[in-house]
């Protein structure tokens, strides 16, 4: 995995667990990403417009606004509808994956994730997003 292609990619990590946020942040910073942290869906929605992340990682089980609701709200906003959202969950059930797809998530990562699985998911979606922006002339 060539992490040089992740340099400058902005990733938002939304998780109510400080441990998960910090481990994701360390993995992503080592790969050259810019990391925006949010403790829950409301925190994320307040920060997303300012930071405009390239990829969003969101935990499913959070207080106040869960990952499904957060993903749905991100995808309903025209500015962020194309932003890839990767759901994070300790549950690996078919129902959870299906529900994630229904609200527009692009991938489902089971916790605890490895550095390789996290970086791999971000790299796959960042490459697709950067390619789409270049094709539409969006990077000026």
How confident is the model over 70-102, as pLDDT tens digits? 999 999 999 999 999 999 998 888 898 999 999
Residue 2 lies in a domain: no
Taking residue 5's Cβ as centre, other Cβ atoms within 10 Å add up to 14
Q: Is 73 a member of any domain?
A: yes
Tokens 């060539």, located at residue: 2
Q: Residue 56 falls within a domain, yes or no?
A: yes
- For residue 86, the surrounding DSSP H or E stretch is strand 85-89
Q: Is it the case that residue 1 has pLDDT exceeding 60?
A: no
Contact yes or no for 133/42 (Cβ under 8 A): no
Total domains present in the chain:
1
Percentage with pLDDT > 90 across the chain: 79
Whether residue 1 is contained in a domain is answered as no
Structural domain of 46 = 7-135
Is there a domain that residue 140 lies in?
no
Instruction: Kindly state whether residue 15 falls inside one of the protein's structural domains.
Output: yes
- Cα separation values, 44 from 4, 29, 80, 95, 117, Å: 27, 19, 13, 25, 23
- Average pLDDT over every residue of 115-119: 96
Query: Has residue 50 been placed in a domain?
Result: yes
Positive or negative CA dihedral for 59, 32, 119, 52? positive
User: What's the distance, CA 63 to chain centroid?
Assistant: 18
91: which 2 tokens? 């549950």
Q: How far apart are CA 47 and CA 56, in angstroms?
A: 12
User: Is residue 67 situated within a structural domain?
Assistant: yes
68: CATH: 3.40.50.2300
């Amino acid at each position: 995995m060539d992490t040089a292609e992740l340099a400058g990619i902005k990733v938002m990590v939304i998780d109510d667990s400080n441990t998960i946020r910090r481990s994701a942040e360390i993995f992503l910073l080592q790969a050259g990403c810019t990391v925006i942290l949010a403790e829950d869906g409301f925190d994320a929605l307040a920060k997303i417009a300012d930071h405009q992340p390239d990829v969003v990682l969101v935990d499913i089980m959070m207080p106040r606004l869960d990952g499904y609701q957060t993903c749905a709200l991100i995808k309903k906003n025209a500015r962020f509808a194309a932003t890839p959202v990767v759901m994070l969950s300790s549950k690996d059930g078919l129902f959870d994956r299906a529900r994630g797809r229904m609200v527009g998530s692009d991938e489902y990562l089971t916790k605890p994730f490895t550095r390789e699985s996290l970086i791999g998911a971000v790299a796959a979606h960042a490459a697709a997003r950067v390619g789409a922006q270049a094709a539409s002339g969006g990077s000026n």
